[in-house]
Structure 1
């Protein structure tokens, strides 16, 4: 890993204009899970708290890549039928802890998750994308909404079907294809869609969540994430729970590293939680930004890292 560089807050363009109170509220959601080296949120001015407690550290070499993810909200049924034929599953009883389980093609060919269905969706692509996002709100006929979040995965490598479509010439040469582009391609090629989805051997299992309607989904730290303030990172480079200055496109915003993702690898790689529903999905799907991540670390930790 490239040696970390200590920066000053004056070197973060837009820092003074950010809503530091909103960032502090997001930090407080998971601050109690951090070790004793990490500062505890305090009353008073939020900007002063961050500047007095942390040192900005640039880890890795910008530019980095910023993408977005979201919590879909789609129609579903508790039982199969009337076109709702594509389930989300609970983990299998024999899922091993530290080794790969069957891949997506093997799961489907052997019907290996029969009896583990949690909810039924109408579109196989939406069921697949719910796995990619790791959380979903499902609306039922009676108007009720149930929420499902990540429970486990099969331990197989993640492969992007967007990149596969780009390789086939269906997307742009550099920025891939959006989620809406994937949906459009699958609608136009229904017979080829199952094989495309099986290109990704990774398979995500769900659990039902009991969360308030205004809460975000649960992130990797076991706490709700906050729209446009929570960030998925590679914890090999950025500690979970750390504030992270996100710079790129129309972002000059302090976020908090509270989630992870199979495709989020590297010190300068971030995935921004964009919220819930259709508009959040459009924003997340269109997001592919060249930018910079600057991690805020407690002062002594920053000094040790930068030696």
Structure 2
């Protein structure tokens, strides 16, 4: 492997499987200790880092990043450990593995501070970064995941219903059930589902499913349930947004579990996106763009 901090830009036709098409993006491999991270980027200006959810990758931002870049931002979309085209020397996960990876990639790219837009699994790492290194977060837009200081209620338990299957995931089993009507407001096309799941042909990505959930998602979820983050102060300006059709996180439930936010966070707001469920970036990309651009402006002021 190359020395930490170097980048190896590679022609698109050498990636395996081939990279998905998305106009305007540049692609590179960023080398850090034990990890080669695929990074898609677009635009120039103040940095915006977008952390994808599961089972997605950088292409999740294809309808969002170009519009934000057009407003004068440099948008950076890494494939997180165990996803997309990123390659890890060690297949294991710890509760902060992806957080450490994100910090290492930002250091390699020379990004000291950025706006963040994070969804699902990526929102876990974004939340952790906000608590551990708040000086690196200019603003945080957290999608479809409650804040770390959430109050527990049994009403949110259906949000964890998919976890047993992922903990017991067997190689070759399709993950397309994650894009069922339970999680999307608008059915995804077959081409879109295939685009997200095709990369699971890579053995490393397929093997990472159970490792990711056992090593990171479950331990962090238990921290949430035990109230670990309630004993910490959330400093970066944070906007948490949910689709109005995301059943476990209906607006009354979300407002209830976040009702004590003045005691837990310096600046915190909630937003709700019409005609969207868990996969808000596919259901309502234009609404996500509008929320992000507004929050970058208001949150940083």
Tell me which interval the TM-score lies in, with the shorter structure as reference length. Answer: under 0.3
Higher strand share: 1
Structure ID, larger Rg: 1
TM-score by length of 2: 0.25
Bigger helix fraction? 2
- TM-score w.r.t. the length of structure 1 is 0.24
Name which structure has the greater RCO, CA cutoff 8 Å, separation 6+: 1
